[in-house]
Amino acid sequence: MTETELYKLWCENAEEDPDLQNELADIKDNIDEINDRFYRDLEFGTGGLRGVIGAGCNRMNIYTVRRATQGFADYLNQEYTSPSVAVSYDSRIKSDVFSKAAAEVLAANGIKVYIYPQLMPTPCLSFAVRALKCQGGIMVTASHNPAKYNGYKVYGEDGCQITLRGAEIILSKINSLDMFTGVKHGVFDEEMAKGNISYIGDDITEDFYRHVLAEGINTDLCASSGLKVVYTPLNGTGNKPVREILKRLGITDVTVVKEQEEPNGNFTTCPYPNPEIREALEVGLKYCREIKPDLLLATDPDCDRVGIAVPDGDDYALFSGNEVGAMLLEYICEQRIKKGTMPENPVAVKTIVTTDIVNLIGKEYGVEIIEVLTGFKFIGEQIGLLEEKGEEERYIFGFEESYGYLSGGYVRDKDAVNASMLICEMAAYYRTKGITLIQARENMYKKYGVFLQTLHSFTFEGESGMNKMSGIMSELRSSIPAEIGGLKVVRFDDYQTSISKNIENNYDTVLTLPKSNVLAFFLEGGSKAIVRPSGTEPKIKTYFTAKAPTREEAEKLEKKLAEDFTKVMK
C-alpha cells in the first residue's frame, strides 16, 4: 500500500483512540506528515519497539503495540507450553494504556499475564520474570527519551531482553499480521475476572528489595556516616523504590526534588529526562546549591540508569557513567577482598564502548574482564552463562558507559535501585575516611592514568535521515581514515563483517562477538573512536576515548577527535 492508502485505512479503522482520530484529521492535507507516519512500520528489534507516540504504523499507539504483542504471543505459544508473561510500565504518556493493551492480547492468546498494579522500574520487571518463572516479559518505556516517545521492551525467560534469534522470529510473525484484523485481544477487566490476568503482589517487590540490599558491602556504615543526599526520580518510577532502599540503609537525610517527585510523562522541568546530561539535573542542582549535600542522585524514568553530581569547590560536578562505573568496580574489588568475600576467579563485564580503565582495574585486583556488545542484555547473558555452569557467584559487577550498573545476578538488566544503593554506600564509606568522591576519582586517575570518554550523538530524522545514516556507515567502512584527531589509526574493527584489521602490521583477525553494525578505530597511544547507529533512535552515536597523562591534555585531544567526526557527519 502507498502512504496515502495506509492513511485512509487508518482513518477508517483506528476508531478506539480519539487522540489518533484527531491527529489523523489534523494532517489530512499534509503529505509530509502523512508520509512520515506511514512510510514504514515502526521497527521491532532486540530492544523491542520505540518511537514517537501518535497515529500510523511508524508510531507508538495501541494498534502497533497490539500487533507487536500478537507476534510475541505467537512466538511464545510456538516455543512453550502454557507460557506466562510479566508486564510493567513507567510514567510516560499512555504507558498504562499500552501495558493493558499488551496484557489484553496476551490473555486472548491463552497466555497468563502478571502485571504490576502501579508503575514500576525496569529492573523490577526483569526480577518478576524470573521470580514468577515466566517465559517472557514486557516493559513499556522509552527509557530517557523526550516526552513525545514511548516504547516497549521484550524480555525472555532469563530476565534479559530478547535474544537476536527471538527478535528475528517475533519480527517475522509481526510482519505476517494485518494491523487491524490479525490481532486477538480481550477486555482487561474481563480477562482479570477470568483469572487470565493477575496483579503482581507486594511479596515480589519485597523480595526484590531483599536481593538489592544483599549486594551491600559496608551498609553498616551508612546510618552513622552523616551522608546528605538530594534525589530526583525525574518524574519516573524510581521515587518509591530508591527512597525505600536508602531508608533501609539508614540514610535518612534525603531531600527529594519536589518538581520531579511525582510521575509525569510530560517531564515539564526536564524535557530530556536523561541523567547523562546536565540539563536534566538543573532543578536538582539548584537544590544542591541551597542544601549543600554530599551527593545528587538522579534516576531516569524507568529507573534503570542513575547519574550523580558531587561538590566541587563552590559548585557541583557531574560524573560520567564511565567514571562512576570504574569507581564502583574498584570500590567493590577493594572492599570485598578486604572483607574476604571476593569469590575465586571473579568476573566483571563491560561493553565494547565502555572505558578501558576497567582492564587496568581488573589486572590490579585479579578480576577477569569480559567484553560484550553494546546493550545490557549481553551483560545479563554473561551472568546466565555463569549460572549454567554453577558459577554465578563469580560475577561481581557489570556496567556500560550510559549510566547502567548491576552488581548481582538477581536481575538481568541494569538496575538504578541497586546502583543508587552502591553509590551512596561508596560515598558514605569514603566520607568516613575523610575522602570526597572528587578526591576518590582523582586518586583513581593518578593510579591508572586519565581515560576521558565522551559520547557525541548526531540526529538524522525521517526517511532521508535513515538513508544518510546508512551512507555514513558505508563510507567509513570503505574508506578507513588514516588518522583521527591527529593520531594514526592503527587498528580497525568492523563488527558487522567480524573483521579486525591491524593496519600498523598489515594483518587481519576474526572478531568473535556477534555481528553488529559497529565500527571501532584504535588510535596510537591508546585512544579510540567507536561509531554505531542507535538501535532505538534516529541517531549515530560516536564514543571517544582520549587517553593522556593529564585531564587537560585528554580534554584537548577529545576536542580534536570530536571535530574530525563532526565533519564526517555533515
Q: CA 312 to CA 296: how far, in whole Å?
A: 12
SS3 at position 512: coil
The three cell numbers of residue 165 are 534469534
Q: CA 118 to CA 139: how far, in whole Å?
A: 13
The three cell numbers of residue 438 are 572528587
Q: CA 475 to CA 486: how far, in whole Å?
A: 20
CA-wise closest residue to 139 among 117, 119, 122 = 122
Contact 357, 326 (CB under 8 A): yes
Q: What is the dihedral of CA 353, 307, 274, 209, to 10 degrees?
A: 100
The three cell numbers of residue 476 are 567509513
The three cell numbers of residue 40 are 514504514
Rg over alpha carbons for the chain, rounded to the nearest Å, is 24
From residue 164, alpha-carbon distances to 135, 296, 515 in Å are 16, 37, 10
What is the number of helices (H) and of strands (E) in the chain? Answer: 18, 23
CA-wise closest residue to 418 among 280, 255, 304 = 304
Q: Mark whether 498 is an active-site residue.
A: no
Given the residues 95, 143, 420, 516, the one annotated as active site: 143
Beta bridge partners of 93: none
Strands 347-351 and 368-372, sheet pairing? parallel
Q: CA 206 to CA 183: how far, in whole Å?
A: 36
Residues known to be catalytic: 143
